[in-house]
Amino acid sequence: MTTTQILIVEDDVTLRDALAETLSLAGHDVLIASDGQAALELLATETPAAVVTDYQMKPMNGHQLLVQLRATHPNLPVLLMTAHGSIEHAVSAMLEGATDYLVKPFSAQVLIEKLTGLLPDHGSDDSLVACDPVTLQVLQVARRVAGSDTTVLLTGESGTGKEVFARAIHQHSERASGPFVALNCAAIPENMLEAVLFGHEKGAFTGAHEARAGKFEQAQGGTLMLDEISEMDLGLQAKLLRVLQEKEVERLGGKRSIALNVRILATTNRDLAAEVAANRFREDLYYRLSVFPLELPPLRERPGDIIPLARHFIHDACGAQRPPVALTAEAEQLLLRHSWPGNVRELQNLVQRALILCSGNQIRERDLPAKSVVAGHQLTPAKSNAAVTSDSAAASSSAAADLQGNLQNVEGRLILDALQAGGGSRKKAAAMLGISPRTLRYKLARLRDAGVAVPDARGYATA
């Protein structure tokens, strides 16, 4: 595992220490600063790979620090933390050049995932573990298509490793020496996704204080991965289609076209053909993106990867800070019997928790929690499709009960409460939460992937 240095800028000592511990456990070297001015002083002598900074700080807040960083370190990734209810700060920061943002409260896993997406790609696909024959076959196809410049659509359930495979395609292509730029289309608010994707000129809109290159320009000579492409608004889909067809982009407020030399990879956990049939996704864009579709099988269909992946995650988490830890035979059998509804992401979460609980240099069966880190998922054997269907009502009821006691995500509770108050209406819930229906759909999909029962339009809980 490549060790990277991260600068944390936070004036709250308790939160700063918690962030530092989280990043250290993830294998990063950590620098800390109590405010923006202290961060700038550190950056005079240190060169971190990324900065994680709070917004509300004194005497120099996160926005002022961002402005300074963009003047002195224009290419340094910056992850901004902002409080719930201050989304306008995040929007403003993104327009000023922040790479991404997090809304408090957030989980350690979300922080690590966000940060991993910001860190530079070092051209290694050693994070891709493929031992099962099914995975090896997919990997063989991925490496063959990597040699061309074809657009690839990677599909599969959440947590199957679509971004890992996308990076492998980039790393085995002739563009490997160029940038790999990833953009989660669902994580960026609708009112700023266009500016983030295409870039903007100074004065293009309120808050555009200077010109910014978009993700397409940042990926010149390399690869642009459009993650969760199915969550993109229909109007923006039309503009994206034109860019892909013409191979040129025009910044918002710009008057000239910029020729592009970018390979496109897109990912989705939805059935795009069904989305087209439901008029939620443009048919012409679907055909443009699915030149070469590549479906990633869920972890339950490639059991030969489970133990190698678990060992990989253990090695990755231990790094140089901890002696090697092994799985006992009983623990391995328990992992093999589980159905893994959360796929590889669920396995990684569970391994990280087991490493905290275990004593000595072994993870035993007792160290694996009765419920996995993904809310409500029992460590139980996989069931047949018929059994899953017959147990769906009981599973929904169990998930709802588990949610009350185990779901730590405050955002998840707020969403479910809003749906209940709105009688299952997505439109009413989105209005109560102050978010767009598209963003709500994305968040509901993440809750379902985590095994949480979500009320349907009639108010009934569905898994």
DSSP 8-state code for residue 367: G
Query: Which pLDDT score, from 0 to 100, does residue 247 have?
Result: 94
* Domain covering 387-462 in this structure, CATH number: 1.10.10
- Write the DSSP assignment of 317-370 as a string of letters: HHTTTS---EE-HHHHHHHHHB--TTHHHHHHHHHHHHHHH--TTEE-GGGS-S
Q: Which residues contact 141 (CB under 8 A, 6 or more apart)?
A: 294
**Rounded CA separation 212/199 (Å):** 5
Is the domain defined by 5-118 classed in CATH 3.40.50.2300?
A: yes
Please name the residue that has the structure tokens 């349907």. 456
Is the domain defined by 300-367 classed in CATH 1.10.8.60?
A: yes
SS3 213: strand
SS3 185: coil
Q: Which two tokens stand for residue 327?
A: 């799985």
Residue pair 4/26 in contact (Cβ under 8 Å)? The answer is no
Amino acid at site 28: H
Residue pair 223/262 in contact (Cβ under 8 Å)? The answer is yes
**Rounded CA separation 76/97 (Å):** 10
The C-alpha angle 193, 199, 201, rounded to 5 degrees, equals 125
* Domain covering 133-297 in this structure, CATH number: 3.40.50.300
Tens digit of pLDDT per residue, the chain (463 long)?
Answer: 345 789 999 988 888 888 988 888 777 889 999 989 999 999 988 888 889 998 888 888 888 888 888 778 877 788 888 875 555 666 666 666 677 778 888 888 788 877 876 775 544 445 688 888 899 999 989 999 999 999 999 999 999 999 999 999 999 999 999 999 999 998 888 778 888 899 888 888 877 778 888 899 999 999 999 999 999 999 999 999 999 999 999 998 888 899 999 999 999 999 999 999 999 999 999 999 999 999 999 999 999 999 999 998 888 888 766 777 889 989 999 999 999 999 999 999 899 888 888 887 889 998 887 554 433 455 654 444 444 334 443 433 333 333 333 333 456 777 887 887 777 888 888 877 777 777 788 778 777 766 677 776 654 444 4
Of the candidates 345, 344, 343, 356, the one whose C-alpha atom is nearest the C-alpha of residue 317 is: 356
**Rounded CA separation 361/331 (Å):** 13
**Rounded CA separation 401/342 (Å):** 19
Q: Is 253 left (phi over 0), alpha (psi -120 to 50) or beta?
A: left
**Rounded CA separation 454/413 (Å):** 11
**Rounded CA separation 21/28 (Å):** 10
Residue pair 334/372 in contact (Cβ under 8 Å)? The answer is no
User: CATH topology of 133-297 equal to that of 300-367?
Assistant: no
- Write the DSSP assignment of 427-445 as a string of letters: HHHHHHHTS-HHHHHHHHH
**Rounded CA separation 266/166 (Å):** 8
The β-bridge relationship of strands 454-455 and 461-462 is antiparallel
Q: Where are the domains of the chain?
A: 5-118, 133-297, 300-367, 387-462
